[in-house]
Amino acid sequence: MLSQLEARGVSYSLQGIVKDYGEFRLTVEQLELREGEIFCLLGPSGAGKSTLLRLLNFLTPPDSGKMTLFGRTYLSSNFTPELQIMRQITTVFQRPALLNERVWNNIVYPLKLRRQAVDKAAITPIIERLGLSGILDQPAATLSGGEAQRVALARALVFSPKVLLLDEPTANLDPENIAIIEGMVTSYAAEHRSTIVWITHNQFQARRVGDRVCLLEKGRIIEVNSKEKIFSDPDNQRTREFLCGDILY
Amino acid sequence: MGAISDGFFESIRLLFSLDPYIYDIIAVSLRVSGIALFLSTLIGVPLGALLALSRFRGKQVVTALLYTGMGFPPVVVGLFVFLFLSASGPLGSLRWLFTVKAMITAQTIIAFPLVAGFTMAAVASVDRNLLRQLRALGATKLQASWAAIREARVGVLVAIIAGFGGVISEVGAVMLVGGNIEGRTRVLTTAIVLETRKGNFGVAIAFGIVLLLITFITNLAMLYLQKRQLLEEE
Ligand SMILES: Nc1ncnc2c1ncn2[C@@H]1O[C@H](COP(=O)(O)OP(=O)(O)OP(=O)(O)O)[C@@H](O)[C@H]1O
Ligand SMILES: [Mg+2]
C-alpha cells in the first residue's frame, strides 16, 4: 500500500529536524524531496550542507525531529534504518575515498557487500560512459583526481541507488571531468527516477543540472524553489544577494 | 677458541647430517609457535580491530591491559600458566602440564597482545573518511571492519610476524610449562640451554644457527612488508 507521500512521488520528508553541534545548529522545519529530481544545495561554507547530507544518508542522527523515507518514519530517538533501506542510499564525497585495490574491485565492491552477482552487461555502460574501460586493472592509489572521482561515481551507481547524495563531487576537477560527471548523473536521474541531492558551490552547475534549488545559510533553509524561479525571481532577498554575489565565492 | 671453532664445524656437520634429533626439535618448535601464532591471530586481529574501530565502555581499561600484556615478562606468563595447569591448580584436571598444549597456551598468551596491539595501531591509521564512505556504500559495521583490516593488511601482517618473533625465541615460559622433555616438548631455545650445560657446544650452536635463521627470515619479511607499505603510501 502506498502512503500519501509515496503517491505524490515524495521520497524524503523531514520535519522539525535539528542537529546541534553546540557552536553550530542545523534546523530543517520542513523539507520534501521527490523521486526523479536533482535537488541542488547551495550555500556558503559552513552553512550545514554536508551535515544535511549526512542526515539524509543516516550517517549521523539528528538531536530531534523525524525523517520519513519510502514511507517509513525514523525519529531522532531511533534513527537506525533497516539494512535494505540503508542500501538504497549512497553518498559521493568531495574527496574520493577508494579502497587500496584495483579499480575494478572498487567498482564492484557494493555488489560484493550485497552478495549480488556482478552483471557485466549492466555495469559496462556506466564504466564506458565514465571513461574507465582502460584503467580497470590499475591500482586505485595511482589514479588522478578526476579518474578517482569517476571511479567513486561508478561505484555509487552500480547498485542503482534510489537516493544519490553528492557532496561537491566536482570541486577541484577540470571542465572535462566535470562534464563527464554531470552527464552521467543527469542521465542516471532520468533513467532511474532516483532522488538526487547535489551540493555545489557553483551556481552555474546548479543551473545546468538542478531541477529545484535550495539555499542554506547558517544552518537554516532560506529558500527552496524551482531552478527557473530561483535564478530569475527569487522569493527571498537573501537569495537574491547570495546568487548575485556568488561569483565572489 | 678451539671449543668454539670445533663446535661450529660440528654444528655444520649436524645440520647437513639430517640427524632426526635435530630436525624433530625444529619441527616441535615450529609446530608449537605456529599453532600459538594461529590462535593469537584469531584472537588478536579481531580484538585489535575492535579497539581501533569502536567505542565502548571499558575500552581504556582493555587497551591498558593490552599494553601491559605486550610488555609482560614471558617467564611470568609461564609461571601463571604453570600454576593454573599444575595438579593442584584450577585447570589441573586437563593434565596439560609438560605437554605441547601447555606450551601453546603460554605462547598464545604471550603473542596475542603483541598481535592485537600492533593490529590496533595499523587499523586505527585507516582513513576515517574511507570508513564512512564504505558505510555509505551499504557496508554493515562488520563488513566495514573487515575492509579496514584489509586496508591495513601490511600492518596486520607485521603484527602477526611480531607475534611470531616474540614466541619462537622465548625460553623461560616453555621451559617452565613444557619441561624440556626430549622428543616431546623440547624446542630450539630449551635445547640450546640444555646442550650448552652438557657441554655439547656443536649441537647447541646448530640450534642457535637455526634459531637465528628463523628470526632473520622473520625480520626480513617484516622489513620487506614495511618497505612495501611505504611504497604503497607514496
Ligand atoms: N562532527 C562535528 N562536530 C562538531 N561540529 C561539526 C561537526 N561536523 C560539522 N560541524 C560544524 O557544522 C558546521 C557546518 O558544517 P558542514 O560541513 O555541514 O558545512 P558545509 O555547508 O558543508 O560547508 P562547506 O561548504 O565548507 O563544505 C561547521 O561549522 C562545522 O564546524
Ligand atoms: Mg561540506
How many structural domains compose chain B? 1
| Cβ atoms A208, A67 nearer than 8 A | no
pLDDT at B233: 61
Residue B219 domain boundaries: 2-119+128-233
A186-208: average pLDDT: 95
B162-189: average pLDDT: 95
pLDDT at A245: 66
pLDDT tops 90 at residue B3? no
pLDDT tops 80 at residue B64? yes
What percent of chain A stands above pLDDT 90?
Answer: 90
Total residues belonging to chain B? 234
**DSSP result, B94-125:** G--TTSHHHHHHHHHHHHHHHHHHHHHHHHHT
| Cβ atoms A214, A221 nearer than 8 A | yes
Number of cross-chain residue pairs from A and B with Cβ atoms under 8 Å apart: 46
| Cβ atoms B168, B211 nearer than 8 A | yes
pLDDT at A1: 52
Q: Which CATH number does the domain housing residue B217 bear? A: 1.10.3720.10
pLDDT at B19: 87
Pocket of ligand 1 (CB under 6 A): A 21, 24, 43, 45-51
pLDDT at B1: 58
Q: Cβ–Cβ contacts within 10 Å for residue B79, how many? A: 16
pLDDT at B227: 83
Minimum mean pLDDT range among A155-164, A234-243, B23-32: A234-243
B136-158: average pLDDT: 95
- pLDDT tens for A98-149 read 999 999 999 999 999 999 999 999 999 999 999 999 999 999 999 999 999 9
What's the grid cell of residue A221? 533553509
As a whole number, the mean pLDDT across chain A is 94
Contacts of A105 in chain B (CB under 8 A): none
| Cβ atoms A180, A130 nearer than 8 A | yes
B143-163: average pLDDT: 95
pLDDT at B231: 72
Minimum mean pLDDT range among A30-39, A183-192, B2-11: B2-11
Q: How far is CA A224 from CA A34, A166, A199, A227, A228, in A?
A: 13, 18, 14, 9, 11
What's the grid cell of residue B58? 571499558
Name which residue leads in pLDDT, A245 or A192. A192
Minimum mean pLDDT range among A234-243, B135-144, B204-213: A234-243
Tell me, in angstroms, the distance from the centre of ligand 2 to residue A179's CA: 21
pLDDT at B41: 98
End-to-end CA distance of chain A: 47
pLDDT tops 80 at residue B215? yes
A155-164: average pLDDT: 97
pLDDT at B91: 96
Find the CB nearest A155 among B132, B137, B150: B137
Q: Which amino acid is at B51?
A: L
Q: Which residues of B136-159 are buried (b: 16+ CB within 10 A; e: fewer)?
A: bbbbeeebbbebbbebbebbbbbb
pLDDT at A249: 46
Q: ∠ CA(B224), CA(B31), CA(B39), 5° rounding? A: 75
User: B125 touching A, CB under 8 A?
Assistant: no
How many helices (H) and strands (E) chain B has is answered by 11, 0
ipTM over 0.85: yes
Contacts of B151 in chain A (CB under 8 A): 99-100
Residue B25 burial class via C-beta count within 10 angstroms: exposed 0-12, middle 13-18, buried 19 and up = buried
Contacts of B136 in chain A (CB under 8 A): 57, 59, 89-91, 165
Tell me, in angstroms, the distance from the centre of ligand 1 to residue A136's CA: 34
- pLDDT tens for A83-104 read 999 999 999 999 999 999 999 9
| Cβ atoms B222, B158 nearer than 8 A | yes
C-alpha–C-alpha distance, residues B29 and B4, integer Å: 25
B118-127: average pLDDT: 96
pLDDT tops 80 at residue B24? yes
- pLDDT tens for B67-122 read 999 999 999 999 999 999 999 999 999 999 999 999 999 999 999 999 999 999 99
pLDDT tops 50 at residue B209? yes
C-alpha–C-alpha distance, residues B35 and A91, integer Å: 43
Helical ranges in chain A per DSSP H: 4-7, 49-56, 83-86, 103-113, 120-129, 145-157, 175-192, 203-209, 227-232, 237-245
pLDDT at B60: 94
pLDDT tops 70 at residue A211? yes
